[in-house]
Amino acid sequence: MEINYQFKKFEGRHSRQESRITLTKSYQIGFPTQFYKDNNVTAFKYVVLFWDEDNRTIGVNFTNNEQEKNRFTIVHNEKYGGSVACRSFLKSNSIDVLKYHGRCDYEKYNLEGVGELFIFKLKEADKK
């Protein structure tokens, strides 16, 4: 009896298989490979960021709108996903990246007049 194998070559070495959003100590919001692929981030050039101070929650809206003045450019990397440098956003909202850096679970939220936001609540980083 002959077995018909369906092998697929693994090509994700060193890729970040994380499906959460990350906040880094270097003032960036990161979209690891798995999140990047699952949410088709490659199709977008920019993000617009939102801040809910009362709930300590960040909202990310992916867009290609060149007319949006307050957009941040996504840096795309096939191997590692994508990220946005957003020091001005984080500093102006007094978000301490040393206190809140790390991986964050997200949910999708529909904001009237804007569309889909990926929102994540800040939580204090584990002190190791």
| C-alpha span between 41 and 20 (Å, rounded) | 13
Mean pLDDT across 96-113: 94
Mean pLDDT, rounded, for 47-60: 95
Please check whether residue 27 lies inside any domain of the structure.
yes
What's the total number of domains in the chain?
Answer: 1
Strand boundaries in 32-106, DSSP class E = 46-52, 57-63, 71-73, 75-77, 81-85, 102-104
For the segment 65-73, the average pLDDT, to the nearest whole number, is: 95
Distance (Å, whole) CA 31 – CA 36: 6
pLDDT at residue number 14: 52
Instruction: Judge whether 12 lies within some domain.
Output: no
- Statement: the pTM of the whole predicted model exceeds 0.85: no
Q: What is the pLDDT of residues 5-33, one digit of tens each?
A: 777 766 655 544 557 899 999 999 999 98
4 found inside a domain: no
* Residue 15 within any structural domain of the chain: no
Mean pLDDT score of the chain, rounded to an integer? 89
Which residues are CB-contacts of 65 (< 8 A; sequence separation ≥ 6)? 46, 48, 71
* Distance (Å, whole) CA 114 – CA 109: 10
28 in a structural domain: yes
Determine, yes or no, domain membership for 32.
yes
Q: Is residue 10 domain-resident? A: no
